[in-house]
Amino acid sequence: MIAFSKFDKLEDPNKFLYFLFGIATRVLSNQQKKRQYSALSEMDANGLVVESVAERSADAERLYKALSLLPPEQREAIILFEIVGFSVREIAGYQKRSEESIRQQLSRGRKKLLDLLTEKAILKSLSYE
């Protein structure tokens, strides 16, 4: 489905096989990252459940709220790179910007997200005292 939706971006038909391999590699890599995260977040070293589904849902909600506070360029770059799994080059082509500009947006967006998420965590912990 991904290959079909991006087929119009294929510049050289002779590179179609590499195009498919690139997509397949990113999809598998993203799935593996998700599996590793869920395995680590569900059990600790003793095999005990560390994080419940409700906690993960609350974490995801906090992340989406923090993402919504980012400038549109940073938010789009982070979502496309970290969540969807596009490469910097693909995002640069999609946004019609340089790769360096995308890297800068990703860096700034990550720093802002860190600030937002840690600030909210600190405020949340202070409100419960």
Q: Would you state the pLDDT for residue 123?
A: 59
pLDDT of 129: 46
Which pLDDT score, from 0 to 100, does residue 101 have?
95
| CA distances from residue 93 to 30, 64, 83, 85, 97 in whole angstroms, order as listed | 21, 25, 18, 14, 7
What pLDDT band is residue 97 in, cutting at 50, 70 and 90? very high
pLDDT band at 102 (very low <50, low <70, confident <90, very high): very high
Phi and psi at residue 89, in whole multiples of 5°? -60, -45
56 or 67, greater pLDDT = 67
Q: Widest CA span of the chain, in angstroms?
A: 63
- The CATH classification number of 52-129 equals 1.10.10.10
Query: Would the pTM count as exceeding 0.75?
Result: no
Task: Say if CB 68 and CB 75 are below 8 A apart.
Answer: yes
The band of 65, judged by pLDDT with boundaries at 50, 70 and 90, is confident
Q: Which residue has the higher pLDDT, 97 or 26?
A: 97
Instruction: Judge whether residue 98 has pLDDT over 90.
Output: yes
**Residue 73 predicted with pLDDT over 70:** yes
Higher pLDDT, 123 or 2: 2
Q: What is the pLDDT of residue 79?
A: 87
Domain with CATH 1.10.10.10 in the chain: 52-129
Q: pLDDT > 70: what percent of the chain?
A: 71
